[in-house]
Structure 1
């Protein structure tokens, strides 16, 4: 990183490099103020979208083709989510390393969002254990690029394309403590399982101290209000034990294999 880049980051100008899909932007080029997703979803003007959005379909199509092509040969895989802000001295960072390592030793590729924090830790664990470490990055104004432990990485422009890849190529989701992004992936997965868009797909929450309040709220408010049914409560497994994570993933994968 250059001195200019150090100063730029200290002054709030963002990371030393940014990705726009597969394109790397450095220097002044990285200071672009909007992302592709934002320009698609947050467009203004009475009729501009009529002339621009149909052409975006080709870019979206290309992103799906790239993703499917790169990930089609993945072995059985598990997606691990969690905060990009988790520091290496946080116990959940070490837990993510252990989870990544344990999954790799059991023959699962580990898929993350490719960023820092929990994602980096899970990729690190998988790589150190000799497994396949995958990162699915996303174009963000404040992104740092893919972490150093990713063996196979793809940078996406669109969240919805990236989400499809997570669900299509994972046999389970493991969520460590995280923010809105982690919650988004969590509830997206639960909705897909509840509506049977995907089957035999466990969702594991690691960290009862962090997730316990949410699980209690789901039981005491959402279920008791009649907004979900009793079977829906079984879609989430809460644990603090790495071995328990592996057991849940194995059991679900065995059940899935039996039907295919």
Structure 2
């Protein structure tokens, strides 16, 4: 985050942070109570400060993306377990989708470059599998891409294709989900597990309930999705309306997805 260099009559936080480090070492200056509140990690992590942490986690990526001029994104979601074709993995039978995600990201980014990387920027969860494929395709096209990582109990690191200064890390799943959708121009869902299903249905619910503007909602691999979700059964049970199924588009290739995005009338809600 760049330092605020606007002219104002007061000393700024950077100046006082440096001054606080230069004070004499005494029992008083070593006491936790003496620390500047915004430099006191123990204080910021207190239970009572959760609202502040939520706000900070919302603001930091928002401000960085605003500074980079990012206006719209294309979201790629899918399993972290799907490997690159030719590699072994738990979901190697789905490896074809790695290549389609990679291709889609490349096509999207080639177009994004025409806007100097301000529009249609690829955003993924920043991890392996389909997420890696998305960031990789953007990197191969010569553009930048966003990674929205999340701290998990087991070790996870960002994939090496995320643009470093657009690689974020989250504590709160809810705020991470907001950032997936706040600039979304299209949502592309590849085969995945619990995490993918969670993000898919939450996004779909926001669109269905008109809490979010309708955008292309594209599912890759009709056979996969119709096997794990009986969409028609939801209609027959009366838990969704028949027209709710029109919110979904099924595709098999990156080119089909691009055709849907290109043909979308974004002036209509």
**Structure 2 equivalent of residue 87 of structure 1:** 83
Given the alignment, which residue of 149, 152, 162 partners 1:150? 162
What does the per-residue CA deviation read over 1:59-104, in whole Å, with 9 as the maximum and x for residues that have no partner? Answer: 1111111021122321421110111111112211111111111111
Tell me which structure has the larger Cα radius of gyration.
2
Cα displacement (A) at 1:259: 5.2
Unaligned stretches of 5+ residues in structure 2? 1-45, 86-94, 113-119
In structure 2, the residue matched to 1:30 is: none
Match of residue 198, structure 2, among 184, 209, 212:
184
| Residue 205 of structure 1 pairs with residue 219 of structure 2 | yes
- The Cα RMSD (Å) is 1.8
3-state SS, counterpart of residue 76 of structure 2: strand
Partner of 1:70: 64
CA offsets, 1:119-143, max 9 Å, x none? Answer: 0011000111122211000010124
Q: Which residue of 2 aligns with 1:230?
A: 242
Report the TM-score, using the length of structure 1 for normalisation: 0.75
Equivalent residue number for residue 186 of structure 2? 172
Q: Mapping of 1:7-46 within 5 angstroms?
A: none
Match of 1:119 in 2: 131
Structure 1's consecutive aligned runs of 4 or more residues displaced over 6 angstroms after TM superposition are none
Q: Which runs of 5+ in 1 are unaligned?
A: 1-51
8 Å CA contact 2:109–2:122 kept in 1: the answer is: yes
Give distance in 2, aligned partners of 1:231 and 1:53: 44
TM-score (norm 2): 0.72
Residue-by-residue CA offset, 1:171-203 (whole Å, 9 max, x unaligned): 111011111110011101110000101113121
Structure 1 partner of 2:105: 100
Aligned residues: 205
